[in-house]
Every structure is written in C-alpha cells, then in structure tokens.
Amino acid sequence: MAVAAHEVGHAIQHSEAYVPLAFRSGMFPVVRIGSGLAIPLIIASILLQAFAFITPEIAHIIMMAGIIMFTTVVAFQLVTLPVEFNASTRAREILETSGFIVNDEEVRGTKKVLSAAAMTYVAAAATAIMQLIYWIMVASRSR
C-alpha cells in the first residue's frame, strides 16, 4: 500500500503542477542527451589521446564536454530528491487520513518502507556525485 500511495503522491504532484516535478520533467530531454553522450565522450577522449590520435588539449576539451554533459545527470538526480520525498510524504498523509494505517506499528512500517525507497534515490544521487568528482579528478590529472 505504501508504494501504491507513493505513486498516487506523484499523480497528485502532476495534478497540482508541483514545481520540482515540472522542473525535472523540463530537464529530461537535456539529461537524456547528456547521459547518453557523457561517458562515451570521456572514454573516447582518454583512448584517442592514449593512441596519439589527438593532442592532450583536444582530449581535455572532449573530456570536459563529457563532464559537462554528466553534470546534467547529477543535477537531475538532485532535483529528483525533493520530488520523491514529497511523494512519500503525501503517501503517508493519504494512508493515515484515509484510515488505511491506523496504529503505531503500521505507521512505523509505512515510514520504513517509504524511507527505504527514498534512500535508493539518495544512493543514486550520491553515486552520481562521486562519479562526477572522479571524472573531474581524471580531467585535472590529464591536463
């Protein structure tokens, strides 16, 4: 029930034109391109320079383009966090006010499930941030 109510929370966000959700949806086309090109550009810059097909300067420009594209992925992950936390908050409210969860044990269980689901988004954001930092460090060493 908690997961279904969470999805209802997203439906309510859509119906109320929840600003972070609208912003995230607006970002999606750019992020889709960025996520598809970022890592291939970064890896291409490393390989092309390693085999001396391009100069280190050109390789650095290509790598930085990939890093900038990957930054859109990180931004998307960060914008996703308030969207997901808000949907979970709405889910708890829906379940409590509608009488689906009535005692403290059910409230605790619902909070645990929704918190665990939210932590997957936190982990994804943290992973993306760490990957971005890694690629920035690689770029700074290759210069």
Residues with a known catalytic role = 7
Q: On the CB side of 63, how many CA atoms lie within 13 Å of its CA?
A: 24
What are the residues whose beta carbons fall under 8 Å from the beta carbon of 45, sequence distance 6 or more?
54, 59, 60, 62, 63, 66
Q: Longest C-alpha distance within the chain, in Å? A: 67
Q: On the CB side of 130, how many CA atoms lie within 13 Å of its CA?
A: 6
Q: On the CB side of 86, how many CA atoms lie within 13 Å of its CA?
A: 16
Location of structure tokens 């982990």 = 123
Distance, CA of 64 to CA of 126 (rounded, Å): 21
